[in-house]
């Protein structure tokens, strides 16, 4: 599979997807969204891939938003499809059975910020900038931003960011819980890769079950969420990797997980 707007690098235990329109600050056009979706599905189906890192090509941008040239073509009817198609890609990321880590290396504005928020973990370079500047263009966030930002930082901070279109620094993003941690530009990818390698060393079925159970805390009410967790816990108790992980502890040796 060849790509024109992303790069997919499949390494031994994890894959790196780079958004690759550097001369347009990796703005998300329709082709890029399709290719990103395809790459996520390939990683999801791969036995070798245990975690995915999404980053932007170049030093300036993760993604500077939806492609404003394509955005300009939209009208009331097509705008709905435009939003839904982007939402579908980001929901596929959020629902991916492998952990998806955003390594935010520069501007993450509009759709770029929304993409980062659809990932399970967000690490930022100290040079990264975040924001939902859609009001400057006469629109609102349409790729899940009003929903995910509100969930992550609460309704008041979400309103302030979305209503003013303010661009904030990585440190400010950290202080409101929008990112997990901030790193120097040189340390960002090594840190994200370390995290991916650590996750890849764990029992894969437990990782997927953890992701689904964490998701349930958002989608279900508290008692259904507990029920979901108990059933998922029971499922993991039925795996070979559970027997191996507990036995390895008792025998004081490293576990050898097989994903079964
Ligand atoms: N869509 C399409 N093209 C974009 C883009 C976007 N969201 N963001 C940047 N670009 C393009 C620029 O048009 C420019 O292309 P050109 O060289 O062919 O003219 C190129 O990327 C570089 O951007 P430029 O604006 O020259 O860089 P800058 O350093 O002066 O400014 C930003 C950087 C991020 C502040 C600025 O590009 C910007 O405000 N982008 C739009 C952000 C936005 O509103 N995103 C939400 C969209 S919903």
Q: Is domain 6-200 classified as CATH 1.10.443.10?
A: no
**If you write DSSP's letter for every residue of 61-127 in order, what string do you get?**
EEE-SB-HHHHHT--HHHHHHHHHHHHHHHHHHHT-SS-EEEEE-SEEETHHHHHHHHSSEEEEETT
Starting at the edge strand found earlier in the chain, the sheet holding 100-104 runs 6-10, 15-19, 52-56, 100-104, 121-125, 181-183
140-173 pLDDT, tens digit per residue, is 999 999 999 999 999 999 999 999 999 999 999 9
| Average pLDDT over every residue of 103-122 | 98
Distance 26 CA to ligand 1 centre (A): 9
What's the CA gap between 136 and 165, in Å, rounded?
Answer: 7
**Distance, CA 206 to ligand 1 centroid (Å)?**
41
83 C-alpha to center of ligand 1: Å?
20
- Locate the ligand 1 atom nearest the alpha carbon of residue 68 and give its number: 1
Q: Whose CA is nearest to atom 30 of ligand 1?
A: 25
CA–centroid distance, residue 177 to ligand 1 (Å): 26
Query: What pLDDT is recorded for position 1?
Result: 76
Contact predicate 79/85, CB 8 Å = no
**What are the tokens at 2?**
């060849």
- Going by pLDDT thresholds of 50, 70 and 90, the confidence category of residue 12 is very high
**How far apart are the C-alpha atoms of 76 and 150, rounded to whole Å?**
25
Report d(CA 219, CA 228) in Å as an integer.
11
CATH architecture group of domain 204-250: Orthogonal Bundle (1.10)
Q: Which residues line ligand 1 (CB under 6 A)?
A: 24-25, 27, 64-69, 107, 109-111, 133-134, 137
Residue identifier of the C-alpha nearest atom 40 of ligand 1? 64
Atom of ligand 1 nearest to the CA of 141: 48
Q: Which residues contact 128 (CB under 8 A, 6 or more apart)?
A: 62, 104, 105, 106, 107, 108, 169, 170, 173, 179, 182
- For residues 117 and 152, give the distance between their C-alpha atoms in angstroms, rounded to a whole number: 8
User: What proportion of the chain, given as a percentage, has pLDDT over 90?
Assistant: 100
Residue 5 CA to ligand 1 center (angstroms) comes to: 16
Measured by CA distance, the residue closest to atom 10 of ligand 1 is 24
Is-contact 6 17, C-beta < 8 A?
yes
Phi-psi region of 65 (alpha: psi -120 to 50; beta: other; left: phi over 0): left
86's CB contacts (< 8 A; 6+ apart) are 28, 33, 66, 111, 114, 142, 143, 144
- Out of 21, 33, 62, 65, give the residue to mutate to test ligand 1, the one with the largest number of ligand atoms within 8 Å of its CB: 65
DSSP letters of 208-255? HHHHHHHHHHHHS-HHHHHHHHHHHHHHHHTSHHHHHHHHHHHTTS--
Q: What is the pLDDT of residues 198-210, one digit of tens each?
A: 999 999 999 999 9
Does the pTM surpass 0.85? The reply is: yes
Rounded Cα–Cα distance for residues 4 and 23 (Å): 13
Q: Which residue's CA is the closest to the ligand 1 atom numbered 38?
A: 64
Parse the chain into domains and list their residue ranges. Answer: 6-200, 204-250
Check: CB of residue 54 under 8 Å from CB of residue 119. Answer: yes
Dist. CA 116–CA 100, nearest whole Å:
10
Pairing mode, if any, of strands 6-10 and 15-19? antiparallel
pLDDT, tens digit (0-9, with 9 covering 90-100), for 44-89: 999 999 999 999 999 999 999 999 999 999 999 999 999 999 999 9
Distance CA 146, CA 140 (A): 8
Residues annotated as part of the active site: 114, 134
């Amino acid at each position: 599979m060849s790509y024109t707007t992303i790069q997919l690098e499949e390494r031994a235990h994890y894959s790196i997807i780079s958004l690759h329109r550097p001369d347009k600050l990796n703005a998300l056009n329709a082709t890029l969204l399709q290719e990103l979706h395809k790459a996520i599905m390939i990683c999801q189906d791969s036995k070798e891939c245990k975690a995915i890192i999404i980053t932007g090509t170049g030093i300036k941008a993760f993604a500077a938003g939806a492609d404003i040239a394509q955005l300009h073509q939209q009208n009331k009817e097509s705008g709905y499809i435009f939003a839904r198609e982007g939402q579908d890609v980001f929901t596929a990321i959020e629902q991916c059975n492998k952990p998806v880590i955003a390594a935010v290396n520069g501007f993450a504005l509009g759709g770029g910020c929304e993409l980062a928020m659809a990932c399970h973990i967000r690490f930022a370079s100290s040079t990264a900038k975040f924001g939902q500047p859609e009001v400057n263009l006469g629109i609102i966030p349409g790729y899940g931003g009003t929903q995910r930002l509100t969930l992550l930082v609460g309704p008041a901070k979400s309103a302030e960011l979305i209503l003013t279109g303010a661009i904030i620094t990585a440190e400010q993003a950290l202080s409101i819980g929008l990112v997990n941690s901030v790193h120097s530009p040189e340390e960002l990818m090594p840190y994200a890769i370390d995290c991916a390698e650590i996750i890849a060393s764990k029992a894969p079925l437990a990782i997927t079950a953890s992701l689904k159970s964490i998701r349930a805390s958002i989608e279900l009410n508290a008692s259904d969420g507990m029920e979901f967790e108990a059933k998922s816990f029971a499922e993991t108790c039925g795996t070979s990797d559970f027997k191996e992980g507990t036995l390895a502890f008792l025998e004081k040796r490293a576990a050898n997980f097989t994903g079964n």
